[in-house]
Each structure stands twice: as structure tokens, then as C-alpha cells.
Amino acid sequence: MVETKSNYTLIDGKKVSADIKAEITQRVAERKAQNKKIPHLAIILVGDDGASQTYVDNKVKSCKSVGFHYTMMRFADTISEEKLMKHIDHVNNDDDVDGFIVQLPLPPHISVEKITEKIRSDKDVDGFTNQNFGSIISKNPLLMPATPFGVMELLRRYNVQTEGKHAVVIGASRIAGAPLSMMLTEQGHATVTICHKYTKDLASYTRAADILLTAVGRPGLVTGDMVKEGAVVIDIGTTRVEGPEYPKGWAIKGDVDFDAVAPKASLITPVPGGVGPMTIASLLLNTLKATEFRYP
Ligand SMILES: Nc1nc(=O)c2c([nH]1)NC[C@@H]1CN(c3ccc(C(=O)N[C@@H](CCC(=O)O)C(=O)O)cc3)C=[N+]21
């Protein structure tokens, strides 16, 4: 009989994000007591995509829970790029708004890059602008890309050693994989391999990973045979899959086949309850930082 050992640690992103939110709530209360400006986040949502609506609702709920002010700005998916740019300009110049995000995806007639670059980088609390992307390699970065920052925070709080380790990142998007790879190198001192859609024989890389991080958005991409015994596995995928077998009619799935991979892992993030809540915690932290920067 072959015995399989199965004692992995679940990385509880929900708990860590709740801890971070408690720290933020405390700092907001202190600012309030000192008559300092309360952080104000604005959220721009274009169209009525169901998944986007859920994510945005989570962000609004989180703002309320830590005591931030917030503004929701909603536009029809027929809005022109030019008009949307004008609204962004307005928010850029609105002194009461400390940080804002434009929820993605945008309708195909609007250029994500053009919109992103229009956002003032000191209000870019998603950390999506080229300037904030580049600031990852600066000694004094201001606003870190939110999802990768959340991942680094999880690794820190679970004492995962990254220095000299081989980290393999699947996915090279500018909001997750690319900045994450840079942070693992710059702050984590890891040896980083970036895999993407042109990578041949993905498994040959993933099997060599001490830390495997995936940010693709394809449920079931990472199977048990692709993971080394004892690896740390971080699942950044969030795909909404629909089906009658789910109580709500849909469910959020990561990239990792959790049941097959978890028994081989030393630590692993679940989806939901892993990286997702950390993205929101980072967004709040960035909004607080942006406020403290403008009104110390
Ligand atoms: N400008 C912009 N900024 C974003 O940060 C951004 C975006 N656009 N577009 C879409 C993606 C996706 N995203 C998620 C955030 C939180 C959860 C999250 O909290 N997930 C929960 C579950 C949520 C649920 O079950 O409804 C969890 O994983 O436990 C998931 C996904 C942010 N994104």
C-alpha cells in the first residue's frame, strides 16, 4: 500500500484581510480623532457585468466596514472613451477623492491602457499605471499593484521564505503575473521563472517550483502531477463558472485543482478565501496610504 501524506497548511486570506482591515479601521479612527481627512475611495464601473458587480459590491462593503468614504460612479457600456476620460479627469482633480479605480474589464471599444494612464498615479490605488508598476523597483514605492502586494503580504505573514527559492509564476498579465514576478525578485530575492501562453511544456517548469503562483483564469490548469512535493501554492485565478450544481447558480474557481494539489503542498491558498480578499485589503491600504501622503 502506498501511503500518501496530507498535512498542508491552508493560507487563510480571509483572516489575514480581516486583520489588515482591523488595523486600517484603527488608523481611520485615529485620523478622525485628530480631525484629519477620512480616506475617500471612488469606484468607476462601466456596464453591468455580473461578476464586476459582485467584486465592486465587496469593495463598497469593505470601505464601509473600515470607515472610509466612498463614491460609486456607474456608466452605461455605451459610454465613449472620450467621455470616460473626461470623468477620470474630473476625479483626478477632485480634492476630496484620495484614490480611485476603474473596474476592469472595460467594453472592447475602450482602451484599458489609455484609461489606466489617464489616472493620476498618486490616486491609482489599484497600482495599475506605468509609474506605479515601475515603482516596484524603487526604494520608496508609493502605491503597489494591489493583488501582487496582497500575495507578498500573505507570504510574509505565513513566514514563507522566498530568498534563494525558485518561484514559478504562471501568467504575465500587467495586473498580476508581471508585477508579482518583479516583487518576488526585488523584495523576495527569489529566483523567478515566468510562464505564459507561449510556454512549451508548462509542467516541466511548475514541477521545479518551490513556490508556485498562478494567475491565469483557467480553472483546473494546475493538476496534482504538476506540483512538487512540499511546494507552496498560491492561486490568484478567479473565474466565475456557472452551473446548476452551485447553490447560487455560479461559483468562483481558481486555477488550481485544489483537491489533487493540496495533499502535495506544504501551504496552499483556497479560492475563495485566499488571494481575493487580500486584493481588497491592499486596495484599502493603498487608499489609506494615498490619503496619508496627501494629508499627513
Ligand atoms: N480595476 C480593477 N481592480 C481590481 O482589483 C479588479 C478588477 N478591476 N477587475 C476584476 C478583478 C477581480 N478582482 C477580485 C477582487 C476580489 C475578489 C474576492 O474578494 N474574492 C472572494 C470571493 C468573492 C465572492 O465569492 O463573491 C474570495 O476569493 O474569497 C475576487 C476578485 C479584482 N479585480
CATH for 190:
3.40.50.720
Residue 238 inside a domain? The answer is yes
The reported pLDDT for the residue numbered 54 is 86
DSSP alpha helix (H) spans, 221-274: 258-261
Helix H or strand E encompassing 252: strand 250-253
Nine cell digits for residue 35: 480631525
Residue 289 inside a domain? The answer is no
Residue 76: CA atoms inside 13 Å, Cβ hemisphere, count? 3
Query: CA-to-CA distance for 18 and 13, rounded, in angstroms?
Result: 8
Residue 148 contacts residue 172 (beta carbons within 8 Å): no
- Residue to mutate (ligand 1; options 279, 282, 287; most atoms within 8 A of CB): 279
Residue 18 inside a domain? The answer is no
First-to-final CA distance of the chain:
64
ipTM of the complex: 0.96
Give per-residue pLDDT as tens, 194-214.
Answer: 999 999 999 999 999 999 999
Q: How many domains does the chain divide into? A: 2
Residue 218 inside a domain? The answer is yes
Q: How confident is the model at residue 3 (pLDDT cuts 50, 70, 90)?
A: low
279 lines ligand 1 (CB under 6 A): yes
77 and 191 assigned to the same domain: no
159 and 89 assigned to the same domain: no
Query: CA-to-CA distance for 162 and 146, rounded, in angstroms?
Result: 19
181 and 260 assigned to the same domain: yes
Catalytic residue, chosen from 12, 103, 122, 253, is 103
Give per-residue pLDDT as tens, 63-110.
Answer: 999 999 999 999 999 999 999 999 999 999 999 999 999 999 999 999
**Which tops the pLDDT comparison, 10 or 4?**
10
44 lines ligand 1 (CB under 6 A): no
Residue 3 inside a domain? The answer is no
175 and 102 assigned to the same domain: no
Residue located nearest, by CA, to atom 11 of ligand 1: 104
Nine cell digits for residue 86: 473626461
Three-state secondary structure call for residue 75? strand
Of the candidates 118, 120, 110, which has an alpha carbon nearest to the alpha carbon of residue 75? 110
56 and 163 assigned to the same domain: no
90 and 44 assigned to the same domain: yes
Which of 121, 136, 156 finishes a domain?
121
- What pTM, to 2 d.p., does this model score? 0.95
Residue 1 inside a domain? The answer is no
Residue 294 inside a domain? The answer is no
Torsion of CA 139, 209, 273, 31, to 10 degrees: -10
- b/e sequence 41-56, b meaning 16+ C-beta within 10 Å: bbbbbbbebeebeebb
185 and 268 assigned to the same domain: yes
Residue 274 among known ligand-binding residues: no
150 and 113 assigned to the same domain: no
Residue 128 contacts residue 145 (beta carbons within 8 Å): yes
264 and 155 assigned to the same domain: yes
| Residue numbers of the domain that contains 196 | 145-276
Nine cell digits for residue 167: 518561484
CA–centroid distance, residue 129 to ligand 1 (Å): 18
Give residue 96's region: left, alpha or beta (phi > 0; psi -120 to 50).
alpha
Residue 56 inside a domain? The answer is yes
- The angle that helices 177-186 and 146-157 make with each other, rounded to 10 degrees, is 40
173 lines ligand 1 (CB under 6 A): no
Kindly report the CATH number assigned to the domain that includes residue 110. Answer: 3.40.50.10860
Phi first, then psi, for residue 165 (nearest 5°) are: -85, 155
Give per-residue pLDDT as tens, 118-153.
Answer: 999 999 999 999 999 999 999 888 899 999 999 999
Torsion of CA 78, 218, 51, 248, to 10 degrees: 140
119 lines ligand 1 (CB under 6 A): no
Query: CA-to-CA distance for 167 and 149, rounded, in angstroms?
Result: 16
* Residue 192 DSSP label: E
195 and 237 assigned to the same domain: yes
164 and 262 assigned to the same domain: yes
Active-site annotation holds for 103:
yes
159 and 231 assigned to the same domain: yes
